[in-house]
């Protein structure tokens, strides 16, 4: 955002002139891929928060949030502009807006250069104002914007006023279930002007404050104010020390809180904090569940690189799937500014001697290597100066390798010079601190035995696509009149058809035969189609579709196919992962210039995993191979990762750019666990939470136990001598929880019935979840007042995931989530804001206790006691871990056959449940290692719970700690919660391989 600095100091007159033009609206041409331009009226809304246009068939979607704009470029720079003929448009009238997670482009053409300049200046001014906001200012701004937009959407006739009927409709939309009499009473109290019967925006704000009065916060204030309606400075200090566990609370600090958050001038003059100010303070970033100190770098950054988890991206240049999506250099800028410190560049020979970047053997678009390097150079150190690792996958000829080396040296200059880096010990890697501002090139290095005078030499070639059979790779040259656009159109339609037809059950399984068959059928069907019908005539579509589906049926098998069935397949048809890994190692020519740029990050072959080697090796392999290593040699793998770096990347069969579960690899000390940053979902949420701590600098220190010594991360008690942590979490209430976006019942107007699920994700022994009861018909301010307790063996790598669900008669719908590292949790009363939702939050109280001494599993996890009496032994519970220690991974995989017959125990029959039964009770689940992996990675949480979960039956409510005064007050003020039903729940399922 450095280029935005100049726009912050624009004169007020120029700013207002730009804003006036933008809010009045400008007719522009909107370019679309493969279609003619559309003339639309583009305008900035009155609150200056959204860019909108009309006419549009989807008026609600015809908008772009200013917050979501990544950058604005002048001229014909985008790919869509490049597809247009050179003389079609005046470049001075063209500009592009990049926005959203996938860097979508909005390409616009004005009628004259002055209009384009006005819009570019105005948009960049708005972006500059947002770029340096502190968290409190941003929180206030988003709240104000939300109130204004809520008012406008409720104003159906557009007269700037809300009548009582519009208020009733708004209440329903906000999930508020209040008696109409109460709503009318508040409406009349807020309606104070001459125009009776309607509310202006200012009156609506008063009405909203009355409606939003938090009884939980009000009673909390009363408990510390000696039943007054305000807190004095001394009382506020006492609250912060006792409840929020804050140290060094001074009088000046408390006065500053009153000055910032109190809305009443009278209260400010008296130096007291009233209920509105107290509510604003409690909902501010100061009382967020995430430790505000962790927004800055706080960990020791002087240790060797191998002691850190490093945020890593896979196929960084792609905006979507692995077959057809666009490649964009701007994706590097986005992920680097998100905190990613290791990016991938796939280099191939391009035309005119210019190397290009794209995903090999596919139809993804190509971008120039030079553009990628320039983008990385510009954005690598905007957010922080810790080193960036450039993971180069080299497929180029020696001539173009030399061009790659020339660009790296010419553009990065002294950023590549590592001669002055002090490692302190020649046998260990340098630290992130010593490498500040440096770029490390990860790639192949010429063998030492060749000597310094060798200009080139042979090195092993580990292509990330090697696990895909050769017949599945696109090697197309569009001959016989067939254009690339025709090929792309055909493959896109057939791929979508196959995805629907295959009904892939679990895309988290990297060895899924269904996924492999899908990819193989797609490629073979396309190749056959092009051979027989090079002109892609419309008349042949049906027969070609049958041919492609026949190919798919030929290879389709169920994801649970056992070894006997595999053995019957001819080797050429379906080689196993082990046979693929056992192929003769390929070699390639590497030039000296590129080899010399690799210093501390030399890519080595997977076969040398347990060889000590020299300092500076990076093992890089697919999740398929990494999974086998984790299964067979977890402790040895951890020892290896104490000296060297390991990079694990998604299987090449993840053609939809889905992500694997990173936890198994973090648990064995892998530093570079590369994910597809362009794919939102559960796994990226875990990754984002992992690296948000330590200032989101992309480097997080591994637990000390992983840096020295060793332990078995998959045992029942991995660290018996270490103290454990107990998390006592009271889920108190929820605020403004919206209807689920895809709810079957939400469209009919039902108010949601929310409940909260809390999940601990870490070492297998720590993985469990618990949930509250369901609150009927209240999404605006549901009250749960329930305590959940968890024990964590290794809190340094544990994540705490808060999920809100809407219970309905046929299951549950996902509302929202927030994931936080255990080490970043702050004790006391905290708000957990749901990710991506403006106002939605849950209010909790957090207590963290130390548990010392040797504790048995029966004490740590009460579910063991119940399962023991039901006949479920510890060995049965850990059945999902069996494959991790099996000598033959294929035999271990056979245990996961979902069709194998298994005799159900009495306990299993008792614990059996259906997906629609969170009921009005709560449950706790203890998950094994494999259950962590089988949860689907999608933008919304799945509507069913994963199998293989051991549930515990109803338990008595736990006593609230004495330091939580609201509990005592609420017990007398509100009716007791409904009794917990005894829903003995659970369902056994075989482990799923990750």
Catalytic residue numbers, as ranges: 314, 358
- Local structure of 275: helix, strand or coil: helix
Q: How far is CA 943 from the centre of its chain?
A: 19
Cα–Cα distance measured from residue 913 to residue 949, given in angstroms and rounded to the nearest whole number: 11
Q: How far is CA 854 from the centre of its chain?
A: 36
Question: Which residues have CB under 8 Å from 745's CB, separation 6+?
Answer: 808
* Length of the chain counted residue by residue: 994
Cα–Cα distance measured from residue 415 to residue 386, given in angstroms and rounded to the nearest whole number: 12
Beta bridge partners of 624: none
Cα–Cα distance measured from residue 352 to residue 151, given in angstroms and rounded to the nearest whole number: 58
* Pick from 443, 360, 439, 355: nearest CA to 398: 355
Does residue 55 have a cis bond before it (omega within 30 degrees)? yes
**Helix locations, 6-163, DSSP H:** 12-24, 79-82, 113-131, 135-154
* Pick from 500, 491, 504: nearest CA to 548: 491
Q: Report helix, strand and coil shares of the chain as percent, to nearest 5.
A: 40, 20, 40
* Pick from 341, 322, 269: nearest CA to 673: 341
DSSP 502-565: H--S-TT-TT-HHHHHHHHHHHHHHHHHHHH-TT--GGGHHHHHHHHHHHHHHH---TT--HHH
* Pick from 569, 503, 556: nearest CA to 525: 556
- Local structure of 203: helix, strand or coil: helix
* Pick from 618, 287, 291: nearest CA to 444: 618
Helix (H), strand (E), coil (C) string for 872-934: CCHHHHHHHHHHHHCCCHHHHHHCCCCCCCCCCCHHHHHHCCCCCCCCCCCCEEEECHHHHHC
Cα four-point dihedral sign 332, 335, 340, 343: negative
**Residues 356/350, Cβ–Cβ less than 8 Å:** yes
Q: How far is CA 284 from the centre of its chain?
A: 23
Strands (E) in 132-285, as ranges, are 162-163, 198-199, 230-231, 273-274
Tell me whether residue 180 is exposed, middle or buried, using C-beta atoms within 10 angstroms of its C-beta: 0 to 12, 13 to 18, 19 or more: exposed
The residue assigned the tokens 């936080």 is 820
**Residues 329/367, Cβ–Cβ less than 8 Å:** yes
* Pick from 845, 849, 815, 841: nearest CA to 731: 845
**Residues 519/655, Cβ–Cβ less than 8 Å:** yes
For β-strands 754-761 and 104-109, DSSP reports them as: unpaired
Query: Which tokens go with 466?
Result: 């090697």
H/E element, 28:
strand 26-32
Question: Which residues have CB under 8 Å from 706's CB, separation 6+?
Answer: 638, 641, 642, 669
Query: Which tokens go with 191?
Result: 């309606």
Q: C-alpha angle with apex 892: 890 to 896, nearest 5 degrees?
A: 105
* Pick from 443, 452, 232, 224: nearest CA to 344: 443
Cα–Cα distance measured from residue 611 to residue 955, given in angstroms and rounded to the nearest whole number: 51
Q: How far is CA 119 from the centre of its chain?
A: 32
DSSP 691-731: HHTGGG-SEEEPPHHHHSS---TTSSSS-TTS-EEEEEEEE
């Amino acid at each position: 955002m450095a280029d935005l600095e100049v726009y912050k100091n624009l004169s007020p007159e120029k700013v207002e002139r730009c804003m006036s033009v933008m809010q009045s609206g400008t007719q522009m041409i909107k370019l679309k891929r493969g279609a003619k331009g559309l003339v639309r009226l583009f305008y900035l809304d009155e609150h200056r928060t959204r860019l909108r246009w009309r006419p549009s068939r989807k008026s609600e979607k015809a908008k772009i949030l200013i917050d979501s704009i990544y950058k604005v470029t002048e001229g014909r720079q985008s790919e869509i502009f490049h597809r247009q003929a050179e003389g079609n448009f005046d470049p001075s009238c063209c500009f592009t807006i990049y926005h959203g997670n996938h860097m979508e482009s909005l390409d616009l053409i004005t009628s004259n250069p002055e209009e384009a300049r006005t819009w570019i200046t105005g948009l960049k001014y708005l972006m500059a104002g947002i770029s340096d906001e502190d968290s409190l200012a941003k929180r206030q701004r988003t709240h104000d914007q939300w109130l204004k937009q809520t008012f406008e959407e409720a104003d159906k006739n557009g007269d700037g006023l809300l009548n009582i009927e519009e208020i009733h409709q708004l209440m329903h939309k906000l999930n508020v279930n209040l008696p109409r009499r109460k709503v009318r009473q508040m409406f009349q109290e807020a309606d104070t002007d001459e125009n009776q019967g309607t509310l202006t925006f200012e009156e609506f704000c008063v009405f909203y404050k009355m409606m939003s009065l938090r009884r939980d916060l009000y009673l909390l204030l009363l408990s510390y104010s000696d039943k007054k309606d305000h807190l004095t400075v001394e009382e506020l200090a006492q609250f912060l020390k006792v409840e929020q566990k804050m140290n060094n609370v001074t009088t000046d600090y408390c006065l500053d809180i009153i000055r910032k958050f109190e809305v009443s001038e009278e209260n400010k003059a008296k130096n007291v904090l009233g209920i509105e100010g107290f509510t604003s303070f409690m909902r501010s970033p100061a009382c967020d569940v995430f430790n505000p100190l962790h927004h800055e770098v706080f960990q020791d950054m002087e240790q060797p690189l191998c002691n850190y988890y490093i945020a890593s991206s896979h196929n960084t240049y792609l905006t979507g799937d692995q077959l057809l999506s666009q490649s964009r250099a701007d994706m590097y800028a986005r992920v680097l500014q998100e905190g990613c410190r290791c990016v991938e560049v796939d280099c191939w020979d391009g035309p005119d001697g210019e190397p290009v970047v794209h995903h090999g053997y596919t139809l993804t678009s190509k971008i120039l290597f030079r553009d990628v390097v320039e983008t990385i150079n510009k954005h690598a150190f905007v957010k922080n100066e810790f080193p960036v690792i450039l993971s180069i996958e080299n497929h180029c000829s020696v001539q173009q390798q030399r061009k790659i080396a020339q660009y790296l040296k010419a553009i990065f200059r002294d950023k590549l010079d590592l001669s002055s880096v002090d490692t302190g010990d020649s046998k260990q890697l340098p630290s992130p601190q010593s490498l500040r501002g440096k770029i490390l090139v990860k790639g192949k290095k010429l063998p030492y035995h060749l000597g310094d005078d060798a200009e080139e030499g042979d090195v092993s070639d580990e292509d990330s696509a090697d696990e895909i059979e050769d017949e599945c790779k696109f090697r197309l040259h569009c001959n016989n009149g067939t254009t690339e656009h025709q090929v792309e159109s055909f493959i896109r339609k057939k791929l979508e058809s196959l995805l629907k037809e295959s009904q892939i059950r679990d895309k988290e399984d990297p060895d899924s035969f269904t996924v492999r068959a899908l990819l193989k059928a797609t490629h073979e069907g396309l190749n056959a189609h092009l051979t027989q019908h090079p002109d892609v005539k419309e008349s042949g579509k049906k027969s070609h579709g049958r041919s492609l589906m026949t190919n798919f049926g030929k290879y389709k098998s169920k994801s649970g196919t056992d070894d006997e069935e595999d053995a019957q397949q001819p080797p050429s048809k379906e080689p196993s992962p082990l046979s693929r890994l056992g192929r003769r190692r390929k070699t390639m020519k590497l030039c000296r210039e590129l080899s010399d740029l690799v210093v501390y990050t030399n890519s080595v072959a997977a076969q040398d995993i347990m060889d000590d080697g020299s300092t500076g090796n990076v093992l890089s392999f697919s999740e398929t191979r990494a999974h086998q290593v984790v299964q067979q040699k977890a402790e040895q793998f951890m020892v290896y990762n104490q000296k060297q770096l390991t990079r694990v990347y998604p299987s090449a069969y993840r053609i939809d750019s889905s992500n694997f579960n990173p936890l198994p690899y973090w648990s064995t000390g892998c530093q570079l666990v590369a994910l597809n940053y362009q794919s939102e979902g559960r796994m990226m949420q875990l990754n984002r939470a992992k690296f948000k701590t330590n200032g989101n600098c992309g480097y997080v220190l591994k637990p000390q136990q992983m840096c020295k010594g060793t332990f078995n991360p998959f045992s029942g008690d991995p660290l018996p001598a270490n103290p454990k942590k107990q998390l006592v979490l009271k889920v108190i209430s929820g605020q403004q929880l919206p209807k689920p976006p895809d709810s079957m019942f939400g469209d009919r107007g039902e108010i949601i019935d929310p409940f909260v699920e809390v999940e601990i994700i870490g070492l297998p022994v720590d993985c469990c979840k618990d949930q509250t009861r369901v609150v009927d018909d209240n999404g605006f301010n549901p009250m749960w007042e329930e305590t959940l307790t968890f024990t964590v063996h290794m809190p340094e790598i544990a994540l705490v995931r808060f999920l809100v669900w809407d219970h309905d008669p046929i299951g549950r719908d996902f509302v929202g989530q927030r994931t936080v590292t255990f080490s970043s949790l702050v004790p006391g009363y905290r708000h957990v804001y749901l990710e991506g939702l403006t106002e939605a939050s849950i209010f909790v109280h957090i207590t963290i206790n130390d548990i010392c001494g040797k504790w048995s599993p029966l004490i740590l996890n009460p579910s063991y006691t119940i399962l023991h009496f039901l006949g479920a032994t510890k060995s049965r519970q850990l059945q999902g871990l069996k494959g991790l220690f099996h000598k033959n991974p294929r035999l271990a995989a056979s245990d996961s056959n979902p069709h194998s017959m298994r005799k159900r125990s009495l306990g299993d029959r008792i614990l059996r449940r259906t997906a629609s039964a969170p009921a009005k009770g709560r449950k706790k689940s203890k998950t094994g290692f494999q259950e962590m992996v089988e949860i689907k990675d999608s933008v919304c949480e799945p509507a069913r719970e994963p199998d293989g979960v051991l549930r515990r039956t109803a338990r008595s409510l736990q006593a609230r700690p004495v330091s939580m005064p609201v509990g005592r007050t609420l017990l007398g003020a509100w009716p007791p919660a409904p009794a917990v039903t005894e829903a003995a729940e659970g369902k056994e399922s075989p482990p799923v391989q990750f």
